[in-house]
Amino acid sequence: MTPPEKSATAPRGARAPKTGETAEPAKAAGGSKAPGGSKAAGGTEAAGGGSKAAAGSKAAGGPKAAGGTKARGGSKAAGRGKAAEPAAKAAGTAGAGAKAARPESHLGMVRRARKINRELAEVYPYAHPELDFRNPFELLVATVLSAQTTDLRVNQTTPALFAKYPTPEDLAAAVPEEVEELIRPTGFFRAKTKSIMGLATALRDDFGGEVPGRLEDLVKLPGVGRKTAFVVLGNAFGVPGITVDTHFMRLARRWKWTESDDPVKIEAEVAAIFPKSDWTMLSHRVIFHGRRICHARKPACGACPITHLCPAYGEGETDPEKARKLLKYEKGGFPGQRLNPPPDYPGRPAPPLGAEA
């Protein structure tokens, strides 16, 4: 605002300024305050003596400057050896009247991340791998087939595949065209046939027909990367691992656990936040939440149980009624992805291929 003008003449009784000293203003005539509760023009103290500058008086109506920050003139003058405060605090102030948000410390982020994990454990106490399998070989093949499709479609496809080829030796000796026809519903069936027959051959020739329980061995198999390897290690061998799929990547970034979009970097950064013993179940909980509530295109923010911990709240639908309509699987009252879910799963089993849900 425009600074108030000073009186042309000093009021009677005012002390003459000493050499090097700015005259000290007197109070406005009658000592009354200006309309709106702000001090009158003469009532502000001059800069240079350590007092507040003219513009530092309260604006008409009494509120502080927009954003809750002090006006430029309201800071202490340089006569006290301190630099003037900026007119508004750094970007990050939520809006008029709100205080500037402090950047979250790394320790604060770690505490918030671990609290998210604890609360997700209460929301999804039944979290589990959503692929049907009876042994490490079936889990390995199913995980390879799950690329670019849903676990539901894989679960609907693998019963016929494993009925015909129950062991690595059986699958390695199969006719490729017959395998392609069986796994066609999963998409990219020619490339996937090459991968699962290749890994079956490697298991037969290099590992005695058994799935190895070491990361360095698993990633050498055709079609097997770190994500697939950690799924197998964590769920078939009890070896802790973080499964960084598209859901995990999305939520880790939304929750500010990482800023990277590289799966290996995300794995390393998240692993540094949580104890190793939490890694496998953390993966299940985050993926469950991503599939059921925190969707990619339209998160159901209004139905999310951890909004108080989410820095991305508001990216999706915040109306509770509308958000509830976005929920999937057991959260929305629909069948899950497994035809044979674990006993504690609260939802309905998925239907077989070709059956109505």
Q: List all residues 6 or more positions away from 276 whose beta carbon is below 8 Å from its beta carbon.
A: 240
Name the catalytic one among 52, 76, 192, 227.
Answer: 227
Q: How many CB atoms lie within 10 A of CB 229?
A: 24
How many of the other CB atoms lie within 10 Å of CB of 60? 12
Instruction: Name the active-site residue from 58, 70, 192, 245.
Output: 245
Sort 13 into a burial class: Cβ within 10 Å, 0-12 / 13-18 / 19+.
exposed
Rg (CA), the chain: 33
Residue 278: active-site member = no
CA–CA separation, 138 and 338 (whole Å):
14
- Residue tagged 């008029």 (tokens): 96
| Distance separating alpha carbons of residues 6 and 114, to the nearest angstrom | 59
State the Cα–Cα distance between residues 73 and 279, nearest whole angstrom: 53
Contact 242, 270 (CB under 8 A): yes
Catalytic (active site) residue 227: yes
**What is the sign of the dihedral through the CA atoms of 8, 12, 14 and 17?**
positive
Structure tokens at 301: 């923010």
**How long, in residues, is the chain?**
357
The CA–CA distances, whole Å, from 349 to 76, 175, 196, 287, 337 equal: 69, 32, 26, 18, 7
Do 286 and 250 form a contact (C-beta atoms < 8 A)?
Answer: no
Q: Known catalytic residues? A: 227, 245
